[in-house]
Amino acid sequence: MMMRDAFHEEIDAIGQSLLNMATLVNQAMSDATKALVNADLTLAEKVIAADDVIDQMQHDLDARTINLMARQQPVASDLRTLVTGLRMSADLERMGDMAHHIAKSARMRYPNSAIPEELKPLITKMGETANKIIAKLIQVMKDRDLNKSLEIPADDDEMDKLHRQLIAAILADDWKHDNEMTIDLTLIGRNYERCCDHAVSISRRIYYLVTGEYFSQD
């Protein structure tokens, strides 16, 4: 009994580490958007450094999880929790990479802005939407709230809509910016979209973790 209690404490600690990782990703995405919109080199460097921390957290988490699986040979819901945790840590690491790429765009163009003035409101909205989704994801990770987990794909539709607006602006006849800015913006938009896709993936994993079933794609 004592060994099982210690085992479940270790599972809980892994869950807390995933939450800590998600919180760092949320901050990194918020800082990356501010660095981009304000051409803030210091903030961009902070995000780039934070990505190393997020990467190391993933390595540590995965090592702890695999070690626990080898020692305890879990079955049923415990095994599902640990395997799902491995996949979630990979998604969170990729989300951190997206924030890192956005911050690198800001750093590369400094002291100039990587985005034109007229698109700053749209990019700001994309950043806010990403942070709204990540914040909701953190709540789902904490509470295992299935209704909220089902909301995240719908929230992601909002990001897809914003991304389409960005692409439409780039392809418009009156687009007057150079190729470098065009490429930057295309990649920036893709990074926001991919970050939210990974959040959707985690929300689906949590639904599976709680129910043992995959929720259907609409």
Domain 2-211, CATH homologous superfamily name and number: Phosphate transport system protein phou homolog 2; domain 2 (1.20.58.220)
Separation CA 59–CA 65 (nearest Å): 10
C-beta pairs of 192-195 under 8 Å, 24+ apart in sequence: 192/98, 192/102, 192/126, 192/127, 192/129, 192/130, 192/159, 192/162, 192/163, 193/159, 193/160, 193/163, 194/94, 194/98, 195/29, 195/94, 195/95, 195/98, 195/99, 195/130, 195/134
DSSP state of 110: T
Q: What is the pLDDT of residues 188-212, one digit of tens each?
A: 999 999 999 999 999 999 998 888 8
pTM score of the predicted model:
0.94
Contacts of 23 (CB under 8 A, 6+ apart): 138
Over residues 89-147, the pLDDT tens digits come to: 999 999 999 999 999 999 999 999 999 999 999 999 999 999 999 999 999 999 999 99
